[in-house]
Amino acid sequence: MKVLVTVKRVIDYNVKVRVKSDNSGVDLNNVKMAMNPFCEIAVEEAIRLKEAGIATEVVAVSVGEKSCQEQLRTALALGADRAIHVEAEQELESLNVAKLLAKVVEAEQPGIVILGKQAIDTDNNQTGQMLSALTGMAQGTFASNIEIKDDKALVTREVDGGLQTIELAMPIIATTDLRLNEPRYASLPNIMKAKRKPLETKTVEELGVTIKEHTKLLSVTPPEERQAGIKVADVAELVDKLKNEAKVIG
């Protein structure tokens, strides 16, 4: 069974995000970039399936500008066998990304596609579901556990108020939640080996996808800064401020 796993390049989660002075977007100049944390979990799960003897090949795929190849090399260092880069210089909506991935799925015919449930930059949580609709493959979203048995997959999902386990007929699309696994670190020897692993580049035109904009970004503004707290002398003063200033009690 082949596993296709998606990788997205985002701002490192440790970096404090800066908004451009004209509010047109996020400032990416001299900013450290990294693999989306949910994608790290997806890559780890794909590698574990191969280590367990369930999968025979792990293929990492990323959609975006040329710099995305850095994150694909990271996936190769973590254990992926080969990588596919769909080169697109423009910003892409979730639907456009899903359409491009659907073409890759059509060509690769994987038994399972694993995606992070969302990216920490746009936070849309859409691509996996859209890819399922476009390919007609069953979906198990927000997965905290995945078990493959013959031609079935048992996916335990994180839902409001608890867990839900569903049985899906293969092939499937799964999106990863935080509790699915703990991603590993790439060792130096594997980082060196990753440089020799195959990385194929495809263009949007080669895949035959027409990029259309359905939404327009109007502006990006940072959240309001939190006001500093104050100290109170006693409980009476605390109650007075909660009632008359914060107005959170009657």
Q: How far apart are CA 110 and CA 200, in angstroms?
A: 17
Please tell me the predicted confidence (pLDDT) of residue 118: 95
Handedness of CA 200, 204, 205, 207 (dihedral sign): positive
CATH architecture of the domain with range 2-220: 3-Layer(aba) Sandwich (3.40)
Please tell me the predicted confidence (pLDDT) of residue 55: 96
pLDDT in tens, the chain (250 residues): 999 999 999 999 999 999 999 998 899 888 999 999 999 999 999 999 999 999 999 999 999 999 999 999 999 999 999 999 999 988 899 999 999 999 999 999 999 999 999 999 999 999 999 999 999 999 999 999 999 998 999 999 999 889 999 999 999 999 999 999 999 999 999 999 999 999 999 999 999 999 999 888 899 998 888 888 889 999 999 999 899 888 888 7
Instruction: Look at phi and psi of residue 73 and say left if phi exceeds 0, alpha if psi is from -120 to 50, else beta.
Output: alpha
Question: The tokens of 212 are what?
Answer: 């259309």
Contact 46, 1 (CB under 8 A): no
Amino acid at site 68: C
Question: The tokens of 79 are what?
Answer: 């254990």
Handedness of CA 238, 242, 244, 245 (dihedral sign): positive
Which secondary-structure segment (H or E) carries 145? strand 138-149
Q: How far apart are CA 135 and CA 111, in angstroms?
A: 12
Q: How far apart are CA 166 and CA 153, in angstroms?
A: 8
Please tell me the predicted confidence (pLDDT) of residue 250: 73
